[in-house]
Homo-oligomer: A and B are copies of this chain.
Amino acid sequence: MAVVVGYVPTPEGRAALRRAAQECQLRNTRLVVINSNRGGKELDAVEAAAYEQELEAVRSELDGAGIAHEVRQLVRGLEPAEDLIAVAEEIAADFIVIGLRRRSPVGKLILGSNAQRILLDAPCPVLAVKAEG
């Protein structure tokens, strides 16, 4: 049993991580944090270093909370949806936690294609969390 969370350093990514950590404490299960990045031109060295620093902070936060965890930074040319689903299948995840952006100010529906793919194709339930406020 494990919970998988898709993590990016945004308000909704942090909200997803926080909620996933709470769910792991409640269930006494381990947390697998996935930071998925297509890599290639989109990821330069400065950005990669910043990500590494963010993930290091995540690791020590989870250590502090006593939550068994694993952080995987995946840069293998896949979309985040593909990476998350593959890991969820591999470890037979209990569920996946993802962050969702709120509606845009004009109220447009902005459920991204990655979120839709995860919701529809995940082998397990998906908990969708929005950023606070």
Contact = CB atoms under 8 A, between A and B. Distances in A.
Interface of A: 19, 26-27, 95, 100, 102-103, 109-111, 115-117, 119-122, 125-130
Contacts of A126: 127-128
Contacts of A111: 111, 116, 119-120
Top 6 closest A-B pairs, CB basis?
Answer: A125-B129, A126-B128, A127-B127, A111-B116, A119-B128, A103-B120
Contacts of A115: 119
This chain's copy number in the assembly = 2
A114 to B, nearest CB: 12
A19 B94 CA distance: 11
Given A26-B26, A26-B27, A111-B111, A102 B125 contact: no
Contact of A103 (B19, B26, B100, B121): B121
A19 B110 CA distance: 27
Nearest to A118: B128
A100 B120 CA distance: 8
A93 to B, nearest CB: 13
A27 to B, nearest CB: 7
